[in-house]
Chain A
Amino acid sequence: MNIKDELSKISTNIVIDEKKANYKIVVDDLSKLIDIANSLKNLGFDHVVSVTGIDYPDKIEVVWHVSSYSVDNLKGINLALSVAVKKPEPIKQSDPQGNIYIKRPPVTVPSLVSVWPSGIFNEREAFEMFGIIFEGHPDLRYLMLPEDFYETWPMRKDFTYQRAKVFIE
């Protein structure tokens, strides 16, 4: 089985760098994501290694890394499935004390837990760290962060931590 041919049947937008062993499928249309994931699973990619976001100034890229335990000649391949979503504009808000703070709305992508159940904890982590809402995730809760990080999305590049004013002054 030639992996290049098989992948090009699934999607036309493939980036392959054989020197670094990079295989990447870039999905342009969000609605096609689940179909592409299903056809990858039928090909033999049976588990998710990592789900993560990458924060750019104008967009957030969500990357699923998938691999195979069951098909022999796919065991050596780390395939990335990538989709980019535009970030909504940040909203300025003020609390009753008059402090102005910037709220950054989350982005939404379809969840692939229905295709690969192994991504369940990975998607929860990407949700709390980057503000990516995975639609259709059965249990989208905070995993590691405490409550005072609610909706701060700390792994985004524009995250600033608040200093405790009471103790400094």
Chain B
Amino acid sequence: MNEKVYNIDDLQNVNVDGEKYIILQIGPSHPGSGHMRIKVWLDGDIIVKVDPDIGFVHRTSEWLSERREWIKAVPIVERIMLPDTVHANLAYVLTVEKLLGIEPPPRAQYLRSLVAEINRITSHLYGIGIFGIFLGSSTVYMWAFGDREPFIDLMEMLTGARITTSYIIPGGVRWDLPNGFKERAETVLQYMERRLKDYEDIWVKNPVVQARTINVGTLKKEDAIALGVVGPNLRASGVYYDTRKHQPYAAYSNIDFEVPTMKNGDSYDRLLIRVEEIKQSIRMIRQILKDIPEGKIVADQIYNQLNPVMKKNYEEKKRVMFPAFMIHMRPPAGEAAAKVEAGRGEIFFYIKSTGDKYPYRFRWVTPSFRNLPYFTHVAVGHRLADLPTIYGSIDYFPPEADR
């Protein structure tokens, strides 16, 4: 590997005349780049400069959500990040709850954490599978996507939908735990623990994988902090930071879990940390199912506004249909910001309200958008053949970055 010490200031001013360097455009169709273009300047096959060109799947989500009623933003926020829908939903609802001043009951908090952790496992398996196909291993790709299914089925059992669940509403959640969920969840968790051993044998401890990933795409701790990268990629560089620990939301302040960190910050560490986080999520799901308190699943402010039919439904089935009166929701003027630790990293939502029926300003910052500096800084000095490894290891999801 060509060791090259880079400097953030130097990199911006690198001389990129076309005669000395070959300019290669990777993407925007999908030869292993996703729906984005990576513009690469090459000296031989050594990468000199990388310019990520995003925006091919930009869907004007902020613009759309500022021109609709507050509750209609719930399906929109879910659609920016399909592997991480629950976290996007949760982050938006937390922001609105801060404006409204509603606190959901404890059982709803636990259910939120439960569905978030199930979603985190599916998101990490998605990431591991994509990393597999980037390194040319279709076995791991098929395994990971297949093992995602039992967890998606769990989400369907709990929320009624596989991916875009719209499960979390201001003041609580929509459905209670169904009968037989705990037993089903335990079966799935035991299956996943068995499978993780298989993954370690065939994939994580595979010498070919190690040769292609160790010391490739190393991001040092100081650089990770300066560039503001997020999530598992940040913790792989050795920074102890997790929104669930440092700005606890849902039931995370009552749950005992560890935040795994790594030392080197290379592509291999970014793979390992996802496996470790799946183990922690399994541990958390067991705790939640054991400790979950009895009680209501929506706050009293919401329950009192339900009509008699919905109240009857709630008492019999423990379900709240998406309440139609929420279309008239008008949070008081002010501003609020919330952070949620999604599978890929930290989601940040910032809302400015004027007390009107639409949000005045709704700012979305997604984890993949904040992981963009990885391309400009980490790939420099490597060979072109290492670019797919780096791309796969950061678990980048273009529609999420483009919004």
Contacts and interface: CB of A to CB of B under 8 A. Distances in A.
Contacts of A65: 337, 348, 350
Interface stretch (A5-13, A26-34, A42-50, A97-105): A42-50
A101 B226 CA distance: 43
Contacts of A21: 98, 247, 337
Contacts, number: 93
Contacts of B239: 69-70
A144 B225 contact: no
Interface in A51-65: 52, 54-55, 63, 65
B54 A143 contact: yes
Q: What interface size band does chain A fall in? A: 35 or more
B227 A76 contact: no
Interface of A: 17, 19-22, 46-50, 52, 54-55, 63, 65, 69-70, 75-76, 78, 80, 116-122, 129, 138-139, 143-146, 154-155
A20 to B, nearest CB: 5
B191 interface: no
A138 B336 contact: no
A20 B336 contact: yes
Contacts of B153: none
A154 B149 CA distance: 40
A50 B350 contact: yes
Interface residues of B, number: 40
Interface in B216-261: 224-228, 234, 239, 241, 246-247
A22 B361 CA distance: 16
A49 B350 CA distance: 11
Given A50-B350, A118-B373, A69 B363 contact: no
A121 B369 contact: yes
13 contacts: A48-B228, A49-B228, A50-B365, A54-B360, A65-B348, A65-B350, A69-B234, A70-B225, A117-B227, A118-B373, A121-B373, A122-B365, A144-B58
A37 B363 CA distance: 21
B137 to A, nearest CB: 31
A111 to B, nearest CB: 12
Contacts of B352: 54
Contact of B63 (A69, A80, A118, A154): A154
Given A20-B336, A50-B363, A118 B226 contact: yes
Interface in B99-119: 99, 101
B402 interface: yes
B225 A69 contact: yes
B334 A20 contact: yes
Interface string B63-100: 10000000000000000000000000000000000110
A90 to B, nearest CB: 20
B98 A20 contact: yes
Contacts of B363: 50, 52
A144 B402 contact: yes
A63 B365 contact: no
A145 B403 CA distance: 12
Nearest to B227: A118
B365 A46 contact: no
A49 B54 CA distance: 19
Given A22-B336, A118-B227, A69 B55 contact: no
Nearest to A138: B12
Contacts of B402: 144
Contacts of B370: 49, 118
A76 B226 contact: no
A69 B361 CA distance: 27
